[in-house]
Structure 1
C-alpha cells in the first residue's frame, strides 16, 4: 500500500504542475503512473476471495478530463476543486442513468463498468451512449462555468472478459484483466474531446453510431495492432448489424471477394457518381447471401459519404399482404411499431415525411396517400376524399408520390435501399419497386441492393431489367479450398486442427457456408468439439462415432434433438408463429409451462445461435426474435404432430388477432392462415374475405383475387348457399374484371347471381347483374349490358338501395349513349347525378357529370355541355380527384376547340397536362401534349406545335400508347398543311391510316382538318399511297430525334 500511496501523491503533484508544464507533458507522465496504480489497486485475489469472484463479459469506460491550465491561472485551488466536483456530479449521473457502475475515480478520471451484475445485450450500446452524453454534458457545463472553457475529455471503451471480485484490503468490487488495460490504453490514446472504442465494442453496436476508422493501434502486450474507431454521433435512425460467427468467434467472409468488390463498385457508382443503380444478389438457401449483405453493410457504415438508408425485409407469412414490404421499409425507417395506435402511426409517418420533404408544399398529402396504400388507413384524411372509391387512381397516385419522395430526398443526399428475402415479397410491393426503378431519373443517386433466392425471377422476371446500371450477382457453392479456409476460420481456437475434422465438415457441406456452420455446431452439441474462452479442443474418441447427416435438414434435425425438453418445446411453438415470432405469442400458447422456463429457454436458444433477437420489436411490450434461417424454422415445424399444430395455431391466431389492435388490417392474411391451420375454416374464410376487400380497395388486384378464391374454397361444401359466398363471388368477379380476365369475371358473377336468386337476396342479385353488365360492356356487347343493367336497376329500385341505383344508372346511361339512345341516356345519368349527390358518392357523381357533358355535346347543347364539365372540374378539385379534374379540363379544351376558341382550348389543355405530369398519369399527359400541339397549330404557333407533338410521341412510345401515336401522325399532317406542304401532309395521313389503331374518331378529325386541303384529288391520292409505303418506325424515329 505504501507504493500505491506514493503513486497517488506523485499523480497529485503532477496535476498541480499543469500550469507550468502544460497538459501534454503532464498527460504523458501520468499514463504509466495510472496504469501502475490500477494494477496495485486490483491485485490477484487470495484463496479466501475465490468464492466472491466471477468471470463476466463487461464493457469498460475510462474517461479523463484535461485542460486545467487556463482554469488554474484564474481560480483558487478550492474553486477548482468545487468546479470539478460539480462537473463530476453531472458526469457520474449520466453513467448511472444508463445502467453503468462507477468503479473508481482516479485523479481527474473515472472508470465505469457495464454488465457487472446482469449482462444485457445492449451494454456496449449503453456505455457508448453514455460517453456521447458525457461529452455533451461537459460542453453544456462550460457556459455555466466560463472559467472551465478549456476543459476537454478523452474517453476510451472496450468490451471483453474480466475477472470481477472484492479485491484489496477494503473489499471493493472491481474488474481486472486485459480488457481493462486495453480500455485504459484507448483513453490515453484518444484525442481530447473524442471517444475511442475497440473493435470488440464496435462489433456489438454496428449500425447504431456514426464512427470513423482509425489506423491500427499498437498496444503493449498485444501481438497484433488493434483496430479502433472514433465515435462521433448516434445515428438518427439506427439499424443494428449483428455479428456473424460461431460460439462468439467472429469469422471473416470467405470466397466472396469478387462479389463484394462488385457491390462496392455499384455503391460508388450510385452514391459517389450519382447514378441510379440496382444490384441483385441471388443464391440458394444458406449459400451466404445474408453474410454478403452483412459485410457490405459493415463496410458501407464507415465510408465517408453521407446517405439516407432504407431497409426492408419480406417474410413468408406476409407474402400475400398487399404492400407489406413497402410498409416494412417505411415502418423501419420511421420506427412505426405494429402495436402503435393508428394515431401514433400516422404521427410517425407524417413526422418522417416532414423531415425529408420540409420544403415540399404538399408533403402531408404525399404521406397520407402513400400511408393509406401501405395499410395505415388514412380514410379520414381530406386528401383521400376523391380517391377512396377509385382504387386504381389511389394506387397510381401513391406510386407517383413514392417516386417523387425518393427523387426529392436524393436531391439532399444519396440513398441506399437494402431489401432482403425478396423471394417472399408481395406482388404489390414488387410492382411498386419496378415502377420506382423505372420512373426515377437515371441521374438519381440511389442504390437498391436486392437479396433473394432465384425463385423471385421465376415469379417476377422483369424486376430491374430496364435499369441501365444493373448488377446481377449469383452466389455459387464455395470451392473445396474455400470451404477448408472457412472451417479453419471457425475452428481457429483449436490448436493443430485434425485433418479428419476438417474433411468431415468439408465433405458433408458441399460448399454451403450455412451447412458448414451448422455441422460444426452439431459437433459442438455432440461434444466432439469442446469450446472455451481461449482454446477449443477436439475429442478424437467421439469423432470416430459421428454419423454425418447427408442433408442440411438432417443436420438441423440433429441440432434440434440435442436441445433440452423446455428448449425444444419453446422453439417448436416459435416455429408455429413463423420465422419471425414474439415471446408473448409463445407465452400465450404455452399455458401449461411456467413463463420463466419459456423466457430462459429463449435466452439459451439465442446463445446457441438458433435464433436472433430483433430490435425494436414491432409489438411494444414484447421481445421479437427470428430463426437464424428459414430452413431451421421449417425443420422444427415438421417435428410437431398435426394435432399439436392445430391447437397451437388457434392460440397464435387469437393472440395475433388481439395484439394487432386497430392495425389488424395489416395482419389479416397472417391471422386467417393461423385460423385455417387451427381448423376454424369459417372464421378463416371470414378473415380472408376481409383481406380481399382490403386488397381490392388498394387496387392490389392479384392479392384480392387470391384471397377471395381461398375464402370460397374454405366454404366449398356448405349445407346450403350462404350470403358470404355470394358476396365473395361478386368481389371475385370485380377483381377479375379489373385484371382484364373478362370470362372469369362473367363466370363468378353468374355464379353469384344464381346463388343470390336461389336465396332470394335481391340486392345481391342486382350487384351480380351490375358485374355482368360491366363485363358485357367491356367486351362491346352493349345490348347484353343493357339487359343486365336494366334488371339490376329494377331490383335496386325494389330494394330502395340508392347507392346501387346511382351506380347502375350511370352505367346504363353510358351503354344507352353507345347504343344511340341519347334521350334515355340523359334521363338515367341525370337521375344518377341526383342520387349520387344525396348519398355523397363522389366517384359516381363525377362519372355522371362527365357522361352528361358528352351527351349534351351529342344533343348540340354546348352551353349545358360546358356547365357539366365545369361542375365535374370543381367537384374533382374539391375532393382531390386530380385524374378526373384532368379529364374535365381535357373535355373543356375539346369543346373550346370545336367552338374555334383555340386560346381558351390551349389553356385548358395546358392545365390538364400539368395535372397529369404532377400525378404521373403518363397516358393522360401524352394525350394532353398532343392536344396542345393541335391547339398550337390553330393558333399559328407551328414551332411550339411540333415540340408538343414530338414530346407527346416520346411519352406515348414509352408507355406503348399506339392510338396516341396514330393521332400524332394525323396532327403532324395537319401541321404540314398549315405550313403550306399539302403533299407531305397527305403522305403522313396515308401512313397513319395503315396503322391498326386507326379508328373512326381519327377519320372524323381527318375530314374536319384536311377536308379543305387545296391539293387536287389525284395528287392527294398519290401522296397517300406514297405515305402507305413509308416505314412507320423510321418515320417515327425521325420525328422523335428532331430538335
Structure 2
C-alpha cells in the first residue's frame, strides 16, 4: 500500500496525505497509519494497530528490514519463515483460498461516548485478538479496515484443511470479541459484536511484502462474495458460502439460511451460518488419486487372467471393460495381468498393442492411429516412404491375395494421412464420398485386426476411454464383432463418472457379445487392504499406529491417494530411506504434519517442496499436455539443456513424470493426468496463453514436414493462446479432416468453434464459406436438417461477396444444390426443387461448366426429387442426362448413383429386365472403386427387383449379401431397406414369423432415423402380415399411420400402396364404402405417378370391391385389366393373386375360361 496518496472511498480520486476530506468531492477520507497502513477512525491521534503517533509520524514508509523487524514482534517466528519461504515459490500463481471478512459493530458508539485513549485501548486489544487468531491458524493477514479485517487461508502457506482453518479462526475471533465485549458491558454498558463472511475461491498470488502482507488479484467474485456475506450477516454470526460449507460440514454444525443476491452474479449465493464445532466430527473424504501398487484385486485379476487364458482354446476373444473412479488402479490391474502373461508357461506367443485417449487436442480416430503405428512398427522418425513400406509389407504378409490387399491398403494409408503411392490404390479413394470412405475404412481396420489375431493372438489395451472421440467410439463398436471370429481380446479402461462414453461402450458390448463380455468394476480398498498397501510401500516395523490409522482413514480406500500421502511424508523428510529400508525421521513431529485433504492441495503441497526452476519446468510441461517431448519443452521453457535435464530428473525422482520414449527424441508423461491438470490450473491465465502460443510456434518450427498430423494440436494451442488469426486455419482444417473421415461429432465441434472465431480473425469470405458449408454438411449427416438449412442459408447469403463472378456462381451452385439435398432428405420436396432449380441456373453462369462434376450432381439431385414426387419420367430423364456427362469423364461415384436411380425408376415402372441391367451395371462400378456401401445397395436393388419378378430363389442370395454388407460396414440407415426386403421375401414364402421379425426391426430402425420413406414401406409391409393372419384391426391401424405420414411428407410411392392394401383390409372388415374410396384414391395416385404395378394391384382391389357390391360387370373389367397388366409386367406373383380374386367372380358369371386359368395359376404356385 502506498501512503503518498489516499484514495477517496466515494469517487476514487487520489488525495495528497494530510487531508481530512477529499479535495474532489468532500467525502471524509480514511485516517491511514503511515507505519502499518491501518485505517483508523477520524480523530485518532495514535494508530489503533501499532501505536504510531498519527500527528507527528513521517509519511515515508519504513524500510523493508525495519517493517520485518516490527512484524516479527507479533507474528510467530516459525510462521514468518513459512510465509517468506512459500512466497518465493508461488508468486504469479493461481491458488484456491478461503477469504475471511470481518466487521465489528459498535465502534461508532464507543468513539462517541469514550475518550480517544480508551477507544485506542479497545481497538488495540481487539486487533491483537484477531491477529492472534489468524496467525494461530496460519492464515495471512491481508488488511485492517478500521473496525474490520480481511484474512486469507491457503496462500502463501497451503494446508489440506484451509477452509476448516478459516471457520475455526472465525469462531475464535467471535469468542475473543465476546470476552472483550463482556468487559465493556461491565465497565461502560456498551456491547461489541462482529459479523464475519467466508468464501472459497481462486486468486492470483502476488508477492509478499516485508510487512508479510500478500499482494493478490481476485479472480471472479471470490472476494466480493465474502464481503457481501459479511455485510448481510447478523451481528455476532458467521456466514459461509456453499463452497465453504461443502468443504467443512463434516467438522462443523451449520444452519441453512437460503440464498442472497450478489452484484455481478446471475445466480443467487446460498448461505449457511456456522454454529460451532461438531460434538462428534465426521470423517473427511479426500479427492481420489490414481495408480498404486496392486493390493486387494485378486478377484479382478483372476477375471482378467481367465479372459486371457480363454483366447486359445476357444479361438475367439471378447471384450473386458474395467471401470472405476480416478485412482482405483485400472492401469495397474492390466499391468499385473501383462506381467502374469509374460511369466506364464503358456505355449502360445502373444501380441499386445496399447493406445490411450487425451482430454485435449485430440483428432478423430486418435486411439486407432496409435494402435496402427504399433502394429506396423512405425517410429516417429520414419519418413513417409518408410512408413508406406512398413504398412505395405505387413498387409502383404497378412493378405497374400492382391485383390484383398487393394481392399485394405488404401483405406489404412488414408486413415494415417498417407496418400497412396500406387495409382490404382489412389483411384479407390478418389471417387468415394466421406460416408463411403468412412465405411470402407471401418471394414479395413476390422479386417486387419481380425487377420492379425488369426496370425497371432492379439490383445488391445485402450486407456482413458472416457475421453474417446465419437468417431473412434463408432469404430470401436464396429470392431467388437471381430472378437467372435479370432483370438482378439479388447481391454477397455475408463472412469465411470466422467461422462456417458464408458456406459455406451459397456451397454453395446454387453448386448452384442453377451457371454464374451466381462465387466470389472474396481471398488475402494478395505481397511485391511489399505493397511497391507502401506506395509507394501514402506517396510517400517515401528511405524506409529496413530500415523498408520491417519493415513488409512484419510485415504478412504483409494490406492493412489494413499500412495500420494506417503510420498508427501517422504518429500517433507518425515520418513526417510536408510540403506535398504525406510524409517521415521528421529526428529519428525508427526503430530504437526497435516495430511492433505484433497488431491489438489496434496499435489500442490508436493510441488511447493520442489526447487523453483523445477516447478517452472513442470508448469511449462503441464501446458504442453499430459505427454510432452524434450525438444518442445526446451523450446518454450527458456531452459538450457543441462538445467532442463536436471529438472526432468528431479521430477522423475519425485515420480511426477515418467519417461515414455528415448529415441528418436525423448518423450515424457505426467504420471497421472490429474497431476498435470492441477499444475496446469495453477499457472496464470495470461502466462498460459503465452506458453500455448510458444508451444504452437515450436511445433511449427520443429516439425515443418509433419504439420498435417499436428493440425488438431496446433488448433488447440493457438486457440488457447487467444491468437484468432493463427488458430482459424488449423481449426478449419481440423474440421475438414474430421468430416472427411465422417467423424461428425468432432467435425461439428471444430466447425462451430471456427464459426465463432471467424469474426475475431477477420476471416476472408472464402474461409467463412468453407466453415458454413462444412458445418451444414456435417449437420445434414447427423439428421440436423434445421441446423443444416440455417448454416447453408448463411453461406448462400455470403457467397455474393466473393470477388469474381465465376467464383460466386460456382459457390452458389454448390450451396443451392446442398440446400436442395437437405430439403429433400427432410421430405420438403417443393423447397428442394426450388433450390435445385437455383443451382441449375447458377451452374449455367459458370464458364466451361457444361461437363463438370457439380453439374452432374445437380442433375442427380433433381432426378431424386422427381422420383420422390412420383414423376418417374422426369426422374429418368435427369438421371440419363447426368449419366451422359459422368460416363464421359469417369465420375465413377456419380455414375454408380445414376445407375442406382435408373434401376429404382425402372422397378417402379415394372420394366424389371432393364432395372436388373441398371442395378448390375451400378454394382460393377461400385465394385471397381471398392464402394462396399454402394455394393450393398445394388444387391438390395437386385433382390427387390427379383422379388417383383417372382424369382424368389435368385433374390434371396442378393438380399442376404446386402444384409451382410450393411452389417459389416455399420450402415444403419440403409440396413432398414435390407430388412424390409427380407421381410417381404418371407411374407411371399408365407413364413410370417421371420417376416414379422425383419419388418419390426425395419420399423424400429426407420423410426430412429426419422426416415418417412422407409417407415411408410415398413408399415405397409407389416400391415400385409397382419392382414394375412386376419388381424384386420391391427392392419388398419398400421395403414392409417402410414397414410398420414405419406400425406405429411409427400411420399407418393408408398402412399398409393398403402391405400391399395387398405382397400383390401376394409373390404374384409365389411366396410365397402371405405374400401371403394381407398381403391379409387390408390388408382388415382398410381396412374398419376406411373406406378404400373401399384395400379394393377389397385385395380384388383377395385374389382374385388365391385364384386362385393354385386356389380359383376365392373368387377370383371377391373379384374381382367389387373391380370393383363401384371402379366405384361411379367409379375407372376401379382398376376396369380389377381387370378385368385377372379375365381369367385368369374364362376358366378359363368366365365369358365378365366376360372380354369385361375385354378391353373394357383396350382402352379402351390
Report the TM-score when normalising by structure 1. 0.64
Deviation at 1:741, TM superposition (A): 0.8
Is the aligned partner of 1:350 residue 2:392? yes
Deviation at 1:474, TM superposition (A): 2.4
Matches of 1:626 and 1:690 in 2, distance apart? 27
- With over 3 angstroms needed to count, the CA separation of the structure-2 counterparts of 1:865 and 1:459, relative to structure 1, is closer
Match of residue 264 from structure 1: 305
Matches of 1:270 and 1:681 in 2, distance apart? 51
Match of residue 338 from structure 2: 297
- With over 3 angstroms needed to count, the CA separation of the structure-2 counterparts of 1:793 and 1:460, relative to structure 1, is farther
Q: Per-residue CA shift, 1:143-191, capped at 9, x if unaligned?
A: xxxxxxxxxxxxxxxxxxxxxxxxxxxxxxxxxxxxxxxxxxxxxxxxx
Matches of 2:453 and 2:564 in 1, distance apart? 42
Match of residue 596 from structure 1: 642
Is the aligned partner of 1:887 residue 2:934? no
Is the aligned partner of 1:649 residue 2:692? yes
Is the aligned partner of 1:635 residue 2:685? no
Match of residue 294 from structure 2: 253
Q: Per-residue CA shift, 1:697-740, capped at 9, x if unaligned?
A: 11111111111001111224566873312220111010000101
Match of residue 846 from structure 1: 896
Q: Secondary structure at the match of 1:313?
A: strand
Deviation at 1:1016, TM superposition (A): 6.0
Is the aligned partner of 1:543 residue 2:589? yes
748, 755, 765: which is aligned to 1:712? 755
Q: Per-residue CA shift, 1:70-128, capped at 9, x if unaligned?
A: xxxxxxxxxxxxxxxxxxxxxxxxxxxxxxxxxxxxxxxxxxxxxxxxxxxxxxxxxxx
Q: Per-residue CA shift, 1:255-300, capped at 9, x if unaligned?
A: 2223223323333444555554322222222222222222122122
Q: How does 1:149-160 map to 2 (within 5 A)?
A: none
Match of residue 788 from structure 1: 835
- With over 3 angstroms needed to count, the CA separation of the structure-2 counterparts of 1:379 and 1:553, relative to structure 1, is farther
Q: Secondary structure at the match of 1:461?
A: helix
Matches of 1:339 and 1:526 in 2, distance apart? 42
Deviation at 1:576, TM superposition (A): 1.4
Match of residue 510 from structure 1: 556
- With over 3 angstroms needed to count, the CA separation of the structure-2 counterparts of 1:425 and 1:312, relative to structure 1, is farther
Is the aligned partner of 1:419 residue 2:462? yes
Between stretches 660-669 and 678-687, larger displacement belongs to: 660-669
Match of residue 510 from structure 2: 465
State whether residues 816 and 825 of structure 1, in contact with CA within 8 Å, keep that contact through their aligned partners in structure 2: yes
Matches of 2:349 and 2:1001 in 1, distance apart? 32
Deviation at 1:690, TM superposition (A): 0.5
Is the aligned partner of 1:723 residue 2:766? yes
Deviation at 1:867, TM superposition (A): 5.7
- With over 3 angstroms needed to count, the CA separation of the structure-2 counterparts of 1:885 and 1:291, relative to structure 1, is closer
Q: Secondary structure at the match of 2:363?
A: coil
Match of residue 748 from structure 1: 791
Deviation at 1:611, TM superposition (A): 1.0
Deviation at 1:347, TM superposition (A): 2.6
Q: Secondary structure at the match of 1:311?
A: strand
Matches of 1:914 and 1:553 in 2, distance apart? 52
Matches of 2:711 and 2:593 in 1, distance apart? 46
Matches of 1:587 and 1:333 in 2, distance apart? 31
Q: Per-residue CA shift, 1:906-953, capped at 9, x if unaligned?
A: 787687678668767688688669868988999xxx79x999979967
Question: Gapped runs of 5+ residues in structure 2?
Answer: 1-290, 1044-1053, 1062-1092, 1099-1125, 1127-1132, 1146-1166
- With over 3 angstroms needed to count, the CA separation of the structure-2 counterparts of 1:488 and 1:854, relative to structure 1, is closer
Q: How does 1:103-122 map to 2 (within 5 A)?
A: none
- With over 3 angstroms needed to count, the CA separation of the structure-2 counterparts of 1:746 and 1:530, relative to structure 1, is same
Match of residue 778 from structure 1: 825
Q: Per-residue CA shift, 1:560-593, capped at 9, x if unaligned?
A: 1222233222222211111011101111213x32
572, 595, 614: which is aligned to 1:526? 572
Q: Per-residue CA shift, 1:21-65, capped at 9, x if unaligned?
A: xxxxxxxxxxxxxxxxxxxxxxxxxxxxxxxxxxxxxxxxxxxxx
Matches of 1:789 and 1:623 in 2, distance apart? 56
Is the aligned partner of 1:335 residue 2:377? yes
Q: Secondary structure at the match of 2:344?
A: coil
Q: Secondary structure at the match of 1:581?
A: strand
Matches of 1:906 and 1:483 in 2, distance apart? 62
Is the aligned partner of 1:876 residue 2:926? yes
Match of residue 625 from structure 2: 578
- With over 3 angstroms needed to count, the CA separation of the structure-2 counterparts of 1:351 and 1:607, relative to structure 1, is farther
Q: Secondary structure at the match of 2:566?
A: helix
Matches of 2:1003 and 2:579 in 1, distance apart? 66
State whether residues 933 and 947 of structure 1, in contact with CA within 8 Å, keep that contact through their aligned partners in structure 2: no
Deviation at 1:840, TM superposition (A): 4.6
Deviation at 1:818, TM superposition (A): 3.2
State whether residues 688 and 711 of structure 1, in contact with CA within 8 Å, keep that contact through their aligned partners in structure 2: yes
665, 683, 686: which is aligned to 2:708? 665
- With over 3 angstroms needed to count, the CA separation of the structure-2 counterparts of 1:843 and 1:948, relative to structure 1, is farther
Deviation at 1:687, TM superposition (A): 0.7
583, 594, 599: which is aligned to 1:552? 599
Match of residue 612 from structure 1: 658
Matches of 2:361 and 2:1036 in 1, distance apart? 47
Matches of 2:519 and 2:960 in 1, distance apart? 42
Matches of 1:509 and 1:862 in 2, distance apart? 74
Deviation at 1:523, TM superposition (A): 2.0
Question: Gapped runs of 5+ residues in structure 1?
Answer: 1-249, 977-982, 1021-1043
Aligned pair count reads 754
Q: Secondary structure at the match of 1:462?
A: helix
Match of residue 807 from structure 1: 857
Q: Secondary structure at the match of 1:253?
A: coil
Q: Per-residue CA shift, 1:795-815, capped at 9, x if unaligned?
A: 222123533222222112222
State whether residues 466 and 502 of structure 2, in contact with CA within 8 Å, keep that contact through their aligned partners in structure 1: no
Matches of 2:982 and 2:553 in 1, distance apart? 71
Matches of 1:749 and 1:922 in 2, distance apart? 26
Larger Rg: 2
Deviation at 1:749, TM superposition (A): 1.2
Matches of 1:356 and 1:1015 in 2, distance apart? 58
Between stretches 681-690 and 475-484, larger displacement belongs to: 475-484
Deviation at 1:994, TM superposition (A): 5.4
Matches of 1:815 and 1:696 in 2, distance apart? 25
- With over 3 angstroms needed to count, the CA separation of the structure-2 counterparts of 1:312 and 1:410, relative to structure 1, is closer
Matches of 1:893 and 1:409 in 2, distance apart? 34
Matches of 2:968 and 2:624 in 1, distance apart? 43
Matches of 2:1015 and 2:1135 in 1, distance apart? 21
- With over 3 angstroms needed to count, the CA separation of the structure-2 counterparts of 1:874 and 1:955, relative to structure 1, is same
Matches of 1:480 and 1:906 in 2, distance apart? 63
Deviation at 1:783, TM superposition (A): 1.1
Matches of 1:683 and 1:415 in 2, distance apart? 42
300, 305, 326: which is aligned to 1:285? 326
State whether residues 587 and 598 of structure 1, in contact with CA within 8 Å, keep that contact through their aligned partners in structure 2: yes
Q: Secondary structure at the match of 1:799?
A: coil
Deviation at 1:436, TM superposition (A): 2.3
Matches of 1:887 and 1:272 in 2, distance apart? 38
